[in-house]
């Protein structure tokens, strides 16, 4: 496995992609999940044929790209024109990935359609959204990995099952994030076993939970849990990574830094050092 980071935690103004690449090479980071929009303009990359220059910078730093991250919750926007624009933007990211030799594009599953549940949206709306994208991506040798962000349409495992029944394309899978399952009480280890063949990428994000707060306010409030750097919450990282290995996963473990108690550099270094003890 490779230890990587999602670049989104770094500000675009102070941390252009060149600086992130250099920093990653100097800090034993294997790969980057590059935030499209913030750190890479996919359309500009294609228009200027900037792939060779970017790949040379990566090669010089000893860093690779694990995925291009295209995180928009509006992929299934209710307005047809907005939806078409979102689909084309994701297709542009897929084309950029192909041009860079990157095999995975990470994305989101969109939000429930007005008046519909998440399951109804998955079954009735998402095939029409994702099938053209996946057909284009398959022709380019690219996989689409959806992060299981709980706010979106794939909050829990029944949603995942419904999604892959509705859209069974082989290049459609998950950017598996255990933290989104943990605080909901969902068995993220069993989920690895069940969806092993759909895990194309994984986020390393932990989750700390306050049991005293739960005893007072219950689980319906959001203040009893927070996302943290790997090794500082309750994800069983050794077992989780072991399950991934047994499932045949040998891809990127990408740190998604949403820990408000740590700065960007400090948090990434801490998380990478911890994960390195489990992956070497």
pLDDT digits (tens, 9 = 90+) for 162-199: 999 999 999 999 999 999 999 999 999 999 999 999 99
Q: How far apart are CA 73 and CA 41, in angstroms?
A: 18
| Tokens 């943990």 sit on residue | 182
Buried b (16+ CB within 10 A) or exposed e, 164-202: bebbebebbbbbbbbbbbbbeebebbebbeebeebbbbb
pLDDT at 280 over 80: no
pLDDT of 221: 87
Average pLDDT on 219-235 reads 95
Average pLDDT on 79-106 reads 98
pLDDT of 222: 83
Average pLDDT on 253-269 reads 97
Q: How far apart are CA 258 and CA 226, in angstroms?
A: 9
Task: Please give, one letter per residue, the 3-state secondary structure of the chain.
Answer: CEEEEEHHHCCCCCCCHHHHHHHHHHCCCCEEEEEECCCECHHHHHHHCCHHHHHHHHHHHCCEEEEEECCCCCCCCCCHHHHHHHHHHHHHHHHHHHHHCCCEEEECCCCCCCCCCHHHHHHHCHHHHHHHHHHHHHHCCCEEEEECCCCCCCCCHHHHHHHHHHCCCCCEEEEECHHHHHCCCCCHHHHHHHCHHHEEEEEECEEEECHHHHHHHCCCCCCCEEEECCCCCCCCHHHHHHHHHHCCCCCEEEECCCCCCCCHHHHHHHHHHHHHHHHC
Average pLDDT on 114-125 reads 98
| Residue 87 backbone class (left: φ over 0; alpha: ψ -120 to 50; beta: rest) | alpha
Distance of CA 216 to CAs 182, 210, 220, Å?
Answer: 20, 10, 11
- What domains does the chain contain, in order, with CATH numbers? 2-279 (3.20.20.150)
Average pLDDT on 51-57 reads 97
pLDDT in tens, 18-35: 999 999 999 999 999 999
């Amino acid at each position: 496995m490779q230890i990587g980071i999602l670049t989104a935690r770094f500000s675009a103004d102070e941390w252009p992609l060149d600086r992130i690449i250099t920093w990653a090479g100097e800090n034993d980071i294997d790969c980057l999940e590059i935030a499209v929009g913030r750190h890479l303009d996919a359309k500009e990359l294609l228009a200027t044929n900037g792939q060779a220059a970017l790949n040379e910078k990566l090669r010089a730093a000893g860093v690779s790209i694990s995925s291009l991250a295209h995180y928009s919750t509006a992929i299934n926007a209710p307005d047809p024109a907005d939806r078409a624009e979102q689909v084309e933007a994701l297709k542009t990211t897929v084309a950029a990935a192909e041009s860079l030799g990157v095999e995975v594009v990470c994305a989101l599953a969109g939000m429930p359609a007005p008046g519909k549940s998440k399951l109804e949206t998955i079954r009735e709306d998402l095939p029409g959204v994702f099938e053209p994208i996946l057909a284009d991506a398959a022709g380019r040798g690219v996989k689409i990995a959806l992060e299981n962000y709980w706010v979106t349409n794939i909050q829990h495992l029944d949603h995942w099952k419904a999604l892959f029944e509705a859209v069974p394309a082989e290049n459609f899978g998950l950017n598996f994030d255990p933290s989104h399952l943990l605080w909901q009480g969902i068995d993220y280890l069993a989920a690895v076993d069940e969806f092993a063949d759909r895990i194309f990428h994984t986020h390393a994000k932990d989750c700390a939970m306050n049991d005293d707060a739960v005893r007072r306010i219950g689980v319906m409030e959001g203040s009893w849990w927070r996302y943290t750097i790997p090794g500082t919450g309750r994800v069983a990282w050794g077992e989780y990574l072991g399950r991934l290995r047994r499932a045949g996963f040998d891809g990127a473990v990408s740190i998604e830094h949403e820990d408000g108690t740590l700065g960007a550099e400090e948090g990434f270094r801490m998380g990478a050092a911890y994960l390195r003890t489990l992956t070497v």
